[in-house]
Amino acid sequence: MAEPAKRNAGYDDLLSIPDNMTGEIIGGELIVTPRPAHRHIFAASRLGADLFRLTSLAGEAPGAGYSWPNRRFISARKT
């Protein structure tokens, strides 16, 4: 028996997602996942801010020519 034809997801499908979920359309398919917890959002924002500050201290644009294994960060804080 043949499968029914699948339709590509659209903007209306994104609008129908509940507020506690987040969604994106990838390759015409609607992908729905739980929204991150506030602690996760805070941690990710803090990490991004720290990395931005550290790369700015290194004297280069954040993300420019970035290579983790060859990169040494020096903290401005004295411990």
Res 52: pLDDT: 84
Residues 67 and 42 in one domain: yes
Q: Nearest-CA neighbor of 30 among 48, 53, 49, 11?
A: 11
Residues 31 and 8 in one domain: yes
Report the Cα 37 to chain-centroid distance in Å.
14
Residues 18 and 54 in one domain: no
Put simply, whether the predicted model's pTM sits higher than 0.85 gets the answer no
pLDDT higher than threshold 70 for residue 46:
yes
Res 22: pLDDT: 93
33: three-class secondary structure by DSSP: strand
Residues 40 and 66 in one domain: yes
Query: Element (H or E) spanning 41, and its range?
Result: helix 38-57
Identify the domain containing residue 5 by its residue range: 1-35
